[in-house]
Chain A
């Protein structure tokens, strides 16, 4: 099983749609979870951290299910500018700063 797995997509959605991405991770000892966003030919940028209680930032909601080792990202009211690749990121347990990136899920929001 890969360390961090994501559906690569692409997800093609119309503006205003709600879209959800899922991610699973293999190491049950991982403690930190993130979603990063990477635009085409650009560097990854932190979108949001993911907490056990779930967290929301505007149109973005992240959830963590430790029992199932599953992370999700929900985007409501999609904008054209949301088009990007969304990277699920998990820390390697016992190794601070050692982040393991999923291959990313590509989102394309159409007018």
Chain B
């Protein structure tokens, strides 16, 4: 009965590879987000989707591409991984017009 789930929890990969992280929420929320938390613990929004439409796209490299097949899912695909992509990636969701966001457990990405 997990509200916001992410897979995988851990991801260790080589530089240059392409990887995807999946996120699903069963809260019936309209809006989903991707955040990056770097080694200094700074949590920063990357993308936001509302009903499968991109509404926030912060300055991230275009190697990062979000995809929302339906409003309960928001996946993150990363091409040509770089060392600096190593971080914890959190998915979150909220109801439209309400700003309380519920976070998934995070995906710890390590690029070697």
Interface residues, chain A, CB within 8 Å of chain B? 32, 34, 42-46, 49, 85, 87, 91, 95-101, 103-104
Contact = CB atoms under 8 A, between A and B. Distances in A.
Given A43-B106, A44-B90, A46-B101, A97 B41 contact: no
Interface in B77-112: 90, 94, 97, 99-106
Interface in B60-79: none
A101 B40 CA distance: 13
B31 interface: yes
B41 A103 contact: yes
Contacts, number: 48
A99 B99 contact: yes
14 contacts: A32-B99, A43-B90, A43-B103, A44-B43, A44-B90, A49-B100, A96-B97, A97-B48, A97-B99, A98-B56, A99-B45, A99-B101, A101-B44, A103-B40
Interface string B15-56: 000000000000000010100000011111100101000011
A34 B44 CA distance: 15
B8 to A, nearest CB: 15
A94 B103 CA distance: 22
Contacts of A46: 100-102
Interface of B: 31, 33, 40-45, 48, 50, 55-56, 90, 94, 97, 99-106
Given A32-B99, A91-B99, A43 B105 contact: yes
Contacts of B99: 32, 34, 91, 96-97, 99
B96 to A, nearest CB: 8
A36 B102 CA distance: 11
Contacts of B106: 42-43
A97 B31 contact: yes
B66 to A, nearest CB: 14
Contacts of A43: 90, 103-106
A84 B105 CA distance: 16
Contacts of B40: 103
Contacts of A42: 105-106
